[in-house]
Amino acid sequence: VSRATFDLSTGQLVSTPRRALDKYEPQATKTKDAKLDAVIEYAQRMRDWPLLEQAIEQKIEEQIEFVQWWKEHVGSNHGGDRSKNADRDSCFSCEKAEELTGITQPQVAKWKKRLADRVKYRATLFGAAWKKAMGEMDNHRAQGTGENEWYTPAQYIELAREVMGGIDLDPASSECAQSTVQATRIHTAADNGLLHEWHGRVWLNPPYSQPLIQHFASKIVAEYHAGRMTQAVMLTHNYTDTEWFHTAARGADAICFTRGRIRFESPDGEPASPTQGQSFFYFGERVTKFVEVFKSIGFVVLAP
Ligand SMILES: C[S@@+](CC[C@H](N)C(=O)[O-])C[C@H]1O[C@@H](n2cnc3c(N)ncnc32)[C@H](O)[C@@H]1O
């Protein structure tokens, strides 16, 4: 079995075989954990969510291995496993293990407790980094909320529904938008769609403000590559010069550029007057169906 890990010296993601615990070096864990904290801190600062996710995953894996090693090789001071482990070469007293690894027993107990619910632990680590990044963003007043509340007219949602056969998730929504989209599940600004996994068939018209739009573009590509999302249609303005547009274009299977402009609707039904056309990015295997359906509103470009 292999796993994706960072080479901490090069910063590259590499595939490494899972270590056998008898070749395990517990004295390296403390340094690795600190290095992974530095990667997490960097990813948070750069708001690189896929990198953040991978670094957190690796941190959790390292802790799992360490806790397992501790369980198998460290005897308790108070009786416990000591007699059981006493005749093993690799048995350590608690003090010796702390000295060897630089990690204390209370720290190991803390990791063990958190690892008992791995999903929650992962979400806590990710959520903390995300909040910190977003807090910094708020300080810079980069986030306007008003510009995010523009909803997709029903006719375009129906085209996406026709291609995908349904909409399981709208990860950037509101109660008002959901009355048109009618996805099986939604996320809103309150529970933050960026903090969840995206499964099934996804409709996405992301918030337009920066850096949210970049994060949503990176997230849709990451979720598709992770194999959780089976299909998706993402609608944005056709700002073809932006980084987020290129992020999405690199990951999509086809893009439809609209003829004319979509008049998005405000929560009270007022139509917008956008100054440019829009793009629908398609992710999935039904490219032929996407072309057939979306050619009615524009021209479609396929991924090379
Ligand atoms: C451009 S609107 C699109 C709404 C709907 N998906 C549609 O197609 O009509 C983007 C929506 O995302 C919501 N939003 C903003 N930040 C979000 C976040 N971090 N997570 C989830 N939704 C968010 C906004 O409140 C807004 O309702």
Cβ(149) – ligand 1 distance below 6 Å = yes
pLDDT for the residue 89: 55
What pLDDT, in 10s, does the model give residues 100-137?
Answer: 999 999 999 999 999 998 888 988 888 888 877 776 55
Closest of 59, 60, 57, 89 to residue 73, by C-alpha: 89
pLDDT for the residue 5: 55
d(CA 106, CA 63): 14
Average pLDDT, integer, range 189-201: 94
Average pLDDT, integer, range 159-164: 98
Cβ(81) – ligand 1 distance below 6 Å = no
pLDDT for the residue 4: 54
Atom of ligand 1 nearest to the CA of 215: 19
Do the beta carbons of residue 40 and residue 8 sit within 8 Å? no
Of these ranges, 8-12, 22-26, 282-286, the one predicted with the greatest mean pLDDT is: 282-286
Cβ(160) – ligand 1 distance below 6 Å = no
Higher local confidence (pLDDT), 265 or 90 = 265
What pLDDT, in 10s, does the model give residues 70-110?
Answer: 998 998 544 444 444 444 556 889 999 999 999 999 999 99
Cβ(75) – ligand 1 distance below 6 Å = no
Contact residues for 190 (Cβ-Cβ < 8 A; gap 6+): none
Beta strands in 180-277 (DSSP E): 185-188, 200-204, 229-237, 254-258
Higher local confidence (pLDDT), 64 or 148 = 64
Q: How confident is the model at residue 3 (pLDDT cuts 50, 70, 90)?
A: low
Cβ(129) – ligand 1 distance below 6 Å = no
Atom of ligand 1 nearest to the CA of 151: 9
pLDDT for the residue 85: 45
Do the beta carbons of residue 251 and residue 260 sit within 8 Å? no
| Proportion of the chain above pLDDT 70, given as a percent | 84
Mean pLDDT of the chain: 86
Atom of ligand 1 nearest to the CA of 265: 9
What pLDDT, in 10s, does the model give residues 211-232?
Answer: 899 999 999 999 999 999 999 9
Cβ(170) – ligand 1 distance below 6 Å = yes
Cα of 192 vs centre of ligand 1, distance in Å, is 9
What pLDDT, in 10s, does the model give residues 245-261?
Answer: 999 999 999 999 999 99
Q: Whose CA is nearest to atom 9 of ligand 1?
A: 151
Closest of 283, 226, 227, 251 to residue 57, by C-alpha: 226
